[in-house]
Structure 1
Amino acid sequence: MKLVGISGSIIGSKTAKAVNEVLMAAKALDQNIEVEFIDLKDYEVEFVKGTPLSSYNQDTIKVVNTIQSADFLVFGTPIYQASIPGVLKNLFDHLPIDAFKSKVTGMITTAGTDKHFLVTEYHLKPILIYLKGVVPVRNVFLQNSDFNKENEIINDDITNRIHELAKEMIFLQKSLKDSDA
């Protein structure tokens, strides 16, 4: 099984760190899982213009194809102005309506304060469901105080929740795979 993690930001490093923690937790739980990380700040994903994927640049094609080739995914997003960043929404707009069919789509969110904790439920989750993703019950929300100056996660409760998210994602994806067999 291939788990792809996407950091949906083009600035900062906290979201990327959080997504990587989920990937590492999943790998620690099951060594057979192949993990791949996409940090959107490393790619020039073009704005959607309503043309076939082949008409976009190589970065856009690579990111979209990597996402579509995944068995399951974890999306990390910072919260800006009570919403996900435009760069992440633009990426979702490149995907076909059934892009996440039979795929677990986990969520991990970073924000400056706890005032944004419901954005995951009311903005990101509906997009994943619209694209037919299977969304775990668990998700992880981190705020700035959960990181130290080096952007390492210092909150043990968050570390445990990341581990539980990875565990639930693996269980759900294996269950979906077994039901297809």
Structure 2
Amino acid sequence: MFETTAASDKPDYALLSRQVSSILEGERNLSANAAQFSALVYHSISDLNWAGFYLCTPAKNPTAEFPQDLLVGPFQGKVACARIPFKRGVCGTSAAQRQTILVEDVHAFPGHIACDSASNSEIVIPVIKDGVLFGVFDIDSPRLRRFSTEDQQGLEAMVAAFVEATDFS
């Protein structure tokens, strides 16, 4: 059985990336891997109240620019927003821009969606494989300024390991 280390404010991201590869070895299923990945992050990094995926799905109100929405996928934490349109909130903005967004204070982010009023900072990393956006990985914290550029680089490496280990078809 795989055991994670205690949640840390300064995680060893190189070790966590290796753990991602180890945990997901031999399994390529998106749902299983996303669930395992979310649990690893949630229980390895301190001061989180949500860690999980929003996956691309056909939009309820499609436009030529954004024919997809983000639909909640596997996660750890409190109940979340079910559907987020592209360009709305931090997740929708990350998806639309296809880039990581680190927000020190979500209350200062224009159009922030408050799925959990306890969240104060957030980082969202797009999930892209072979140039195709499949969703975003979202992490929320009740602590202001919880995430640093070191966290961003480490989490991006972990998401890259998840993408490498997972089939998205």
Q: Is the pair's TM-score, using the shorter chain for normalization, greater than 0.5?
A: no
Q: Per the shorter chain, which TM-score range?
A: under 0.3
The structure with the largest strand share of the pair is 2
The structure with the largest helix share of the pair is 1
TM-score, normalised to structure 1's length? 0.26
TM-score, normalised to structure 2's length? 0.27
